[in-house]
Structure 1
Amino acid sequence: MTHPLLRAHGIDVRFGGVHALRDVTISVRPGEICGLIGPNGAGKTTLFDVLSGIRRPDAGGIEYAETDITRRSPVWRARHGIRRTFQRQQLFRQLTVADNLVVAQEWRGGPRRGARGHRERAAAVLHACGLDALAGSYAGALPVGQARMVELARALADPPRVLLLDEPASGTTAEERRRLAAVVRHAADEENCAVLLVEHNVAFVMELCSRVVVLDLGRVLAEGTAAEVRADAAVREAYLGSDPGRVLDT
Structure 2
Amino acid sequence: MSHPLLRADGIDVRFGGVHALRGVTVAVRPGEICGLIGPNGAGKTTLFDVLSGMRRPDAGTIAYDGTDITRRPPVWRARHGIRRTFQRQQLFGQLTVTDNLVVARDWRGGVRPMARSHRERAAGVLHACGLDALAGSYAGALPVGQARMVELARALADPPRVLLLDEPASGTTAEERHRLASVLRRTAGEEGCAVLLVEHDVAFVRELCSRVVVLHLGRVLAEGTPAEVGADPAVRDAYLGTGTDSGPASSAGVGGGS
- Cα deviation, residue 248, structure 1: 2.3
CA distances 1:90-136 after superposition (whole Å, capped 9, x unpaired): 00000000000000000011233511000000000000000000000
Partner of 1:110: 110
Q: How does 1:90-169 map to 2 (within 5 A)?
A: 90-169=90-169
Partner of 1:222: 222
Unpaired segments of 5 or more residues in structure 2?
A: 244-249
Partner of 1:75: 75
Partner secondary structure for residue 189 of structure 2: helix
Is the CA contact 1:222–1:235 (under 8 Å) kept in the aligned structure 2?
A: yes
Partner secondary structure for residue 112 of structure 2: helix
Aligned equivalents of 2:112, 2:134: Cα separation in 1: 26
Aligned equivalents of 1:33, 1:23: Cα separation in 2: 23
Aligned equivalents of 1:61, 1:106: Cα separation in 2: 30
Aligned equivalents of 2:251, 2:71: Cα separation in 1: 43
Is the CA contact 1:240–1:248 (under 8 Å) kept in the aligned structure 2?
A: no
- Cα deviation, residue 240, structure 1: 2.2
Partner of 2:187: 187
TM-score normalised by L of structure 2: 0.94
Identity in percent: 83
Aligned equivalents of 1:247, 1:153: Cα separation in 2: 32
Which amino acid letter does the alignment assign opposite residue 153 of structure 2? A
Partner of 1:63: 63
Unpaired segments of 5 or more residues in structure 1?
A: none
Partner of 1:89: 89
CA distances 1:43-69 after superposition (whole Å, capped 9, x unpaired): 000000000000000000000010000
Partner secondary structure for residue 197 of structure 1: strand
CA distances 1:171-223 after superposition (whole Å, capped 9, x unpaired): 11111100000001110000000000000111111110000000000000000
CA distances 1:229-250 after superposition (whole Å, capped 9, x unpaired): 010000011112399x942257
Partner of 1:48: 48
Aligned equivalents of 1:169, 1:248: Cα separation in 2: 18
Aligned equivalents of 2:111, 2:217: Cα separation in 1: 48
Give the length in aligned residue pairs.
249
Is the CA contact 2:239–2:251 (under 8 Å) kept in the aligned structure 1?
A: no
Which amino acid letter does the alignment assign opposite residue 14 of structure 2? R
1:247 corresponds to 2:256:
no
CA distances 1:132-182 after superposition (whole Å, capped 9, x unpaired): 000000000000000000000000000000000000000111111000000
Is the CA contact 1:82–1:162 (under 8 Å) kept in the aligned structure 2?
A: yes
Which amino acid letter does the alignment assign opposite residue 15 of structure 1? F
Which consecutive segments of 4 or more residues in structure 1 shift more than 4 A? Answer: none
Partner secondary structure for residue 94 of structure 1: coil
Which amino acid letter does the alignment assign opposite residue 183 of structure 1? V
Partner of 2:246: none
Aligned equivalents of 1:190, 1:242: Cα separation in 2: 39
Aligned equivalents of 1:240, 1:232: Cα separation in 2: 13
Aligned equivalents of 1:120, 1:31: Cα separation in 2: 25
Aligned equivalents of 2:36, 2:146: Cα separation in 1: 23
Which amino acid letter does the alignment assign opposite residue 30 of structure 1? P
Aligned equivalents of 1:173, 1:132: Cα separation in 2: 18
Aligned equivalents of 1:195, 1:201: Cα separation in 2: 16
